[in-house]
Structure 1
Amino acid sequence: MHNNNDSLRPAISWQGRLANRLMRHLVKPVIARVPLTPRVMRFSQLGFDTVTLALPVHPDVHIAPAQPGGVPGEWLMTGRELVSGRVLLYLHGGAYFFGSPRSHRALTWRLSRACRARVLALDYRQPPKWPYPAPLEDTVRAYQGLLAQGYRPENLVIAGDSAGGNLALVAMIRLREMGVPLPAAAVLISPWTDLTVSGQSVRDNASADPLIPERTLRFAAAAYSRGSDPASPLISPAWADLTGLPPLLVQAGSTEVLRSDAERIVQQARECRVVCEYQVWENMPHVFQALAGWVPEASLAVREIGAFVRERVAAAGGEVHWRASAQVIRGRQR
C-alpha cells in the first residue's frame, strides 16, 4: 500500500532492538505456553495490571474516577497547556480479555500531555463474562455521556490500541448509525480489525512478531464473538462501510501479525473517502507506544499522535486555547 499520507518510520535505537529481543525471548514464549481457558482469562487482567503498574507515571499527573454514561473509567490530566474542553476517550487493548485503564497509564498520561487533552480511559466490560456487544455498548454510552456533560463533538477524539482500536472503529460506526455527532478524529494504534484472523501478515509475520502467537488471537476472537459472526462489521470493521467517519491516524509496526489489519482498515477508509494517515514503524512491536520514555521511537510516535490530534481538533473548529487552571472533578467540567 502506497499513498502520500503513508510513511515508513525507520528503526533507529538500540532501545528498540533490546525491547524486541526481550519480548521475543522472554514474553512471547510465556504467552505461547499459557493454557487458554476462561479461568486464565479471569486471572490475566490482575497479572497484567500488576506488571504494567511498574511503569512510571509522572508525579504531576492527576488521576480521578469517572463514570460517563454510567460506565466506569478514570480521568488523567497533565501538562501546563491542557485545553479545558478537549477530551481523548481512550479504549485500552488486551485482546478483549485483559487490560484496563490502570494497565495503560504509562501511555495515557503521555497522551494527555502530547494531545493537550484530558484523557478518559474507559473500563469497559470484557469476556469471559461479557462478550460482544457489551464493550461496544459501554463505549457508546460513555461517548453519549460526554456529550450530555456538555463536551462538544469537535473537541472529542476517540483512540485505542489493538482491541481498543477495534472498539474505537465499531463505536463510531454505531454512533453514525444512531445519528449521534461523531468526534473530530480517531487514533488507531495497531488496531485489531479482523477477528476472523485471516490477514496475510498473521502468516507472513508469525515468526517475526516478537509478542503475539496466532493461537492467542484465535482464542480471543472466539471468546469475544461468542454466538455472533466474527465477520460482522461491528466485530470485524475491516469489512465495514466507513463512510462519514472522521479523519484517522493509524500506527503499526512493520513486523506485527496485525499489520494487515491496520492496512486493510486504511484501504477501506480511503475507499470510503475518509481522510487517513498511516505510519509504519520499522521493527517495532505491538503497541510499542506504551514504551514511550524508554524507546525513542515510541516517544516520537506519541508526539506524532499529539500533533495529529491538535491539528484535527483545530480543523474541526474545536477549542484550542489552554487554561492553566482547568480541572475535572468526578467527571464534571469546572
Structure 2
Amino acid sequence: MDPITASDLPAEVTPLPGVTAPRHAATQQAVSPRTQPFDRRPTVRSRAISEALRLGLRPFIHYAPSHARSLRTARSTVDAAALLMRPSRQVRIKPLLDPRVETGGEERPVVGEWVTSRRGERRADGAILYLHGGAYVVCSPRTHREITSRLTLETGLPVLVPRYRMAPEHPFPAPLEDAVAAYRWLLARGVPASGIIIAGDSAGGHLAASLTGEICRTGLPRPAGTVLYSPWVDLTCELSTAEQGRVRDPYISAHAARRVARLVVGPAGFDDPRLALLTCAWGEVSPFLIQVGGSEVLRPEAEAFAEALGRAGVSCELQVWKGQMHVFQILNRVLPEASAAMRETARFVRDSIAAASSAESEAVA
C-alpha cells in the first residue's frame, strides 16, 4: 500500500459555482506548493492503458448489440472473467443471504457480500454500502472487489456490496428498491447512520445518488456521506452525447449507453423523478465526494450534478482527475493515480463520519 505523502494531499482549488473546495485546502498550501494529485499530468502507465482500451475495447462496446439476449451473455462473460481476478489476501470476503423472514415478507431479501480487512485496525463504528457499476445490466459484487477491497483496507470499515436486480429483466426502480433494502438492513442491525458511507461507480454512482435522495425523501436517518466514482448521472445521455466528439474516451460510448438506458428505464420511460438527478429537489442530504476522469464523456454530467448540489446548498467536493478514464479507481493496484484517488476517498470517509458523529453527539446533548 503506498504511503500518504504531502504531495498527495489536495492544494487550494478554484471550485465550480456552488461547489466546495476540500476542507483541508488551506493547510495543504502551507505544506507544499505542488499541485493536487488530480491536477497532475497522467503517468506513462496511465496513458498506455487508456490507449490500449481505446483501441481494443471501445469499438466492441460502441457497436455491441443491446438486446436482452446479448446483455445476458455479456453478464455471464464478465462474471466468469472476474473469477480470474484474485482478491487481496489482506481482505476477507463473506457471502450474505438474508431472506428477512422476521419481517413477514415486508422487506426485500438482502443478497451480496461483505468485504472486511484482515488487519488489526478494523473499525466497528460504521460501514460502507457500495453499489457496483455496469450500466445497470452487467457486473456484480465480484467484479468490483478491486475497489471494495481497497476501500476496506484504507478505511478499516466493512464494505457491504449488495447484488441488486438488473435490467432488462428488472428495470428501474428495482435496483433502487434493493439498495434501500440494504440500507435498512444495516440500520436494523445496529449500524448507526452517522457511520454509514454510501458509494458507487458509474451506474452504481447513479444508484448511490438516487439512494441518498430516497433516504432524504422517505425520512430515513441520513448517512454520513456519499462517494461517486464517474457517476452516470443523466440516463438520457444528452450531456455525454454532446461531449462524445470533444474527448477521446478510452472505452465509454455515449451512443451505446443511450441504447442500454432505454432497457434500464423499461416501459415507464424517463418520467420517474428518482432517475433525474439533475432536477431532483435536493434538500438536507449528506456531503458528496465526486471523482471523475478528465478524459471521459461522463465528465460534463458529474460537473452539472456538482453544480446542482451546490445550488441546493449541499456540500460537494468535485475532483476531475486529469487525463483519467472511466472508473480508473478499479486499477488501484497498478495506477498511481487510482491509488491516490482511493486515499482521497479514505480522507473524505474519515472526515464525513467524524463530522456526522460529532453532530449526532451534539444533538443528543
Same-fold call, TM cutoff 0.5: yes
Partner Cα distance (2:129, 2:147) in 1: 13
Partner Cα distance (1:80, 1:55) in 2: 25
| Aligned with residue 122 of structure 1, among 162, 169, 173 | 162
Instruction: Verify the 8 A CA contact 2:212 2:226 in the aligned structure 1.
Output: no
RMSD: 1.8
Instruction: Verify the 8 A CA contact 2:262 2:269 in the aligned structure 1.
Output: no
Instruction: Verify the 8 A CA contact 1:231 1:239 in the aligned structure 2.
Output: no
TM-score (norm 2): 0.83
Larger RCO (CA within 8 A; separation ≥ 6): 1
Q: Give unpaired runs (5+ residues) of structure 1.
A: 319-334
One-letter code of the match for 2:58?
A: K
Q: Deviations over 1:157-186 (max 9, x none)?
A: 100001101101111211211110111001
Q: Does 1:74 align with 2:104?
A: no
Instruction: Verify the 8 A CA contact 1:73 1:123 in the aligned structure 2.
Output: yes
Q: Give unpaired runs (5+ residues) of structure 2.
A: 1-15, 23-35, 99-107, 359-365
Specify the alignment match of 2:309 in structure 1: 269
Partner Cα distance (1:258, 1:43) in 2: 26
Shift of 1:193: 1.0
Instruction: Verify the 8 A CA contact 2:168 2:266 in the aligned structure 1.
Output: no
Specify the alignment match of 2:335 in structure 1: 295
Specify the alignment match of 1:47 in structure 2: 77
Partner Cα distance (1:51, 1:284) in 2: 24
Runs of 4+ in 1 over 3 A off after TM superposition: 1-4, 52-56
Specify the alignment match of 1:326 in structure 2: none
Specify the alignment match of 2:355 in structure 1: 315
Q: Percent same amino acid among aligned pairs?
A: 36
Q: 1:19 to 1:53 in 2, by over 3 A?
A: farther
Partner Cα distance (1:298, 1:309) in 2: 17
Q: Deviations over 1:110-165 (max 9, x none)?
A: 01111221000110000111001100000011101110011100010100001101
Shift of 1:306: 0.7
Partner Cα distance (2:210, 2:285) in 1: 11
Specify the alignment match of 1:170 in structure 2: 210
Q: Deviations over 1:245-300 (max 9, x none)?
A: 10000000112111111111100111111110010011111000000010110010
Instruction: Verify the 8 A CA contact 2:91 2:153 in the aligned structure 1.
Output: no
Shift of 1:85: 2.8
Q: 1:10 to 1:50 in 2, by over 3 A?
A: farther
Q: Deviations over 1:222-254 (max 9, x none)?
A: 011112242543112122122111000000011
Partner Cα distance (1:23, 1:203) in 2: 22
Shift of 1:4: 5.2
Structure number with greater Rg is: 2
TM-score (norm 1): 0.91
| Aligned with residue 54 of structure 2, among 19, 24, 28 | 24
Partner Cα distance (2:271, 2:337) in 1: 33
Equivalent pairs, count? 318
Q: 1:39 to 1:224 in 2, by over 3 A?
A: same
Shift of 1:105: 0.6
Specify the alignment match of 2:243 in structure 1: 204
Instruction: Verify the 8 A CA contact 1:28 1:212 in the aligned structure 2.
Output: yes
